[in-house]
Amino acid sequence: MPPAFPRREGLRYVAASIAALFLLASIVGLQRLAVRGANTPLRYLGGEIKTLDPARITDAGDVQLLLQLYAGLTRLDEEGRVYPSLAGSWNVTDGGRTYTFHLRTNLHFSDGSPLDARDVRRSWLRLLDPTVHATAPDVLNVIVGATERASGKGSEAAVGIQAPDPNTLVVHLRHPAGYFTSITATPSTFVVPRTATASGSWQTVNTFIGSGPYVASAMNGTTLVLKANAKYAGAAPPIGEVDWVTDITGDAVTAYADGDLDLVQIGGSDATWIAYDHDLGPALHRAAALSVEYLGFDTTRRPFDDARVRRAFALVLDKTRLVELADGAAAAAATSVVPPALQPPDLSPATGPQPEEANRLLDDAGFKDRSKLGGITVTVPSFFDASPIVATWRKQLSVTVSVETMDFSDYITALDAGRIPQVFAINWIADYPSPHALYDLLLAPGARSNYGHWNDPRFADLLDAAAESTGDAAQAAAYRKVEAAVDEQAPLIPWSYDESNWLVRPGLQGLGTLTIGLLDFGLVSRS
């Protein structure tokens, strides 16, 4: 007879096997739970994909996408605080004028090719290369020789960026800038692969090579599929796939309610009712944007080459009331070009409208006869409603104003080509979390995004002094002087600070303040 398992011995084996199975099942099961969470795509309505090139960022949507695809020396956490990324550490010497970044070892691009300090230098020089026509070379203005290089007047060799060895990057600044590690966290400065050329078409979804937490994997209909980058320098993203939805049929709220989206920015009109809705209300989150909507003047042409005229047009606006009437709770009147989250304390006191002073200024500027101002044209992107502003100018200043609107792409093209309207409107998101990101890029003499070409050496000196100041109190005082100069000369009129509204799938975490430009999906997980 063949040997048989004694019954009791069998029972022991069965019990032990069950326990072993439990052990296995617990491990595998828990792994599956975690992995299932990780493998459930995060569906985000990100909008149109306009570029995959960090040198060609034109708006907040581009910033949001490229933040996922590339990495820089530093990075911002969900609260906007700097942390080391490709650089493991850095030293600041020479009185704050020299930054020496020590890159982590064994860094790679998403295709496995090595990434080192020379790639950072190459990427930055590419940003400054005038033949690349980068949209935001100004972010590196603080580096010695950068402005000259970007304007085509200086050589690459004269730019203060050196990579003495593969793990070291030395950067020489024009002046101390405590915010420099915030600049190195902005996607424009992120590292591009060696395949990058001057053209805007070197990077495609099908052949994508990046350095960020995700890689562009495929275009699935209207959805760009982003997959976690196994070669990313930081921790592997908890969510393995992000579906960047470019377009939807119907409205975003319905798409969220139907489970087709997990994260979506919605309009203020929907937010008003959702705030009271028992089903969707818990998913509604409001966030202050790191952006400002402002009106700019062409300060090189009459009549707005005269600060008194500019100031008159600024002073007459009751911004608090006009913004509230136009946007309700979706926006707040701007008191400075710096968004509240980036403002030092007491940067700019809120002041009411001063129509009498405004009219006096116009009289003093030689325009007592308002017809001498000529017809003033305000040119804005199609989505910007200039009606309340223009109506106020017409009514309170007795001036003749017409409004022209343009598609946003045509509008930006015109501005970049130097075709500057008399009065224009821009919504600008801070490139990095510092007041400097606004003052320097929008108002510094010669800055590419200083569309109004305001050129005030005194302002430039004050701004440099603010950059060099150390300590909270000294910095706040220095920036107050900067702001006062802007207020006095009125090269632009800060108009409003937008509030963004989001529907967030419960359980998502790591989204911080829900600020566009800080939403690093590599930090997001599901609870």
Partner 1 sequence: MRAARAVLIALAVVAATAAFAPARIAAFSGFGPMTVSEQYGKAITFKVELPGGAPDRLDILIGFGIEPDSTFVAPVEASGSAASYVWDASTQYLTPNTPLSYRWRATNGSVVTESAVGNLRYTDNRAGLDWHSAQMHDATVHWYGSSETIARHFGDLTGGAVTRAEKLLGHSLDGPVDIFVYVSRDEFFGALGPGAREWTGAATFPGIRTVFMWLGGGPSDYLDRALVHEVTHVVFFDATRNVYHAPPLWLNEGFAVWSERRNADTQAATVRSEVSSGLISFDAMTDAFPIGTRGSALSYAEGATMVDRIIRTYGAMALSGIAAAYRNGATDDEALRAGTGAPATQLYTDYFRSFGAAEPKPIPAASIGPSIVHAGVKAGSGGQSTTAPNGSPAEPGDAGSNALRIGLVVGFVVAIGLVILGAILVRRRRPGGLP
Closer CB to partner 1, 431 or 487, in the complex: 431
Closer CB to partner 1, 147 or 500, in the complex: 500
**Which residue bears the tokens 């569906």?**
43
Least distance in Å: CB of 393 to partner 1?
12
Least distance in Å: CB of 106 to partner 1?
6
Which of 288, 289, 352, 294 shows the shortest CA–CA distance to 320?
352
DSSP string, 226-280: EEE-TT-SSPPPSSSEEEEE---SS-HHHHHHTTS-SEEEE-HHHHHHHTT-TTT
- Burial (0-12, 13-18, 19+ Cβ within 10 Å), 7: exposed
Least distance in Å: CB of 368 to partner 1?
27
Closer CB to partner 1, 72 or 491, in the complex: 72
Closer CB to partner 1, 276 or 457, in the complex: 276
Using an 8 Å Cβ cutoff, are 257 and 280 in contact? yes
Residues in Cβ contact with 126 at an 8 Å cutoff, skipping those fewer than 6 apart: 55, 132, 134, 192, 196, 198
Least distance in Å: CB of 304 to partner 1?
18
Q: If residue 101 lies in a helix (H) or strand (E), which one and from where to where?
A: strand 98-103
Using an 8 Å Cβ cutoff, are 182 and 174 in contact? no
Closer CB to partner 1, 195 or 413, in the complex: 413
Query: Which token pair is 386?
Result: 């200039």
Least distance in Å: CB of 488 to partner 1?
29
DSSP state of 452: T
Closer CB to partner 1, 284 or 331, in the complex: 284
**Which residue bears the tokens 């632009």?**
492
- Say what angle helices 472-489 and 436-443 make with each other, to 10 degrees: 30
Closer CB to partner 1, 8 or 221, in the complex: 8
Least distance in Å: CB of 30 to partner 1?
4
**Which residue bears the tokens 């200043």?**
397
What are the residue ranges of helices labelled H in 159-198?
180-183
Closer CB to partner 1, 251 or 357, in the complex: 251
Least distance in Å: CB of 118 to partner 1?
18
Q: Give, in degrees to the nearest 5, the angle at Cα 397 between 395 and 402.
A: 70
Least distance in Å: CB of 457 to partner 1?
26
